[in-house]
Amino acid sequence: MSRKKTIDQAMLFKETEKLIMESGYSGFHFKALSARLGVARSTIYNYYTKKEELVTDYMVHLLENAVAQMDNVDQEEEPVKELIRLWSKYANMHQMLQIMPYIDKKASPAVEENTKKMFGLFIKMKAKIEATLKAGQMKGVVRDDIHMKTIVGLVMSTVQIPVHHETLDEWVNEVYQLLMSGLKK
């Protein structure tokens, strides 16, 4: 009744994420990954023949989820707040995106395609954020005297704010307030 020495994509993705989060892209090897999965290194090659493929596949998957969720933001009462909440939930995604520049996009056609997909998804995501903010401007809730790109930039950068709060909701509330009314007293 030996434990199945087999792996599925869910596990692959989970461990990929964990490994990259902990060790960065340079610390992400099939060696380390296989160790965590408890399989032989070569086994992973039955699923992915390029480590870039695995990574980019995972990232596409991540982005797709995020974009899907953002589609529902506008149904909420305070869309911007909801955006912040969602965004923070995908803090790992943000980190993952930072490793993009170091991935060899030419590694394989699949990687190239994934890269394009990601680029598209990222654009979509930004557009979504922008749309939400624009809607805010229409309703007169968001200022329009500042370049939209700057506003989007600030909103997106909030993901970096460390969480020293009891709950994520608390963090969201504080950041939202700060973001909306500014530092000024």
Q: How many CB atoms lie within 10 A of CB 111?
A: 21
Choice from 12, 17, 19, 28 touching DNA (CB under 7 A): 28
Nearest CA to 100 among 153, 60, 65?
Answer: 60
Q: Is 164 in the site for DNA (CB under 7 A)?
A: no
- Stretch 50-89: interaction string toward DNA, x if CB under 7 A: xxx-------------------------------------
The piece of 23-31, 112-120, 127-135, 158-166 that touches DNA (CB under 7 A) is: 23-31
Instruction: Specify the residue, 68 or 109, whose C-beta has the smaller distance to a copy of itself.
Output: 109
Q: Which is nearer to DNA, 48 or 171 (CB)?
A: 48
CB of 36 closer than 8 Å to CB of 11: no
CA separation for the pair 97, 151 (Å, rounded) = 20
Among the listed residues 36, 45, 65, 119, the single contact to DNA using CB under 7 A:
45
DSSP string for residues in 72-125: TGGGSSSHHHHHHHHHHHTHHHHHHHHHGGGS-GGG-HHHHHHHHHHHHHHHHH
Give the interface with DNA as residue ranges (CB under 7 A): 1-7, 28-31, 39-43, 45-47, 49-52, 107
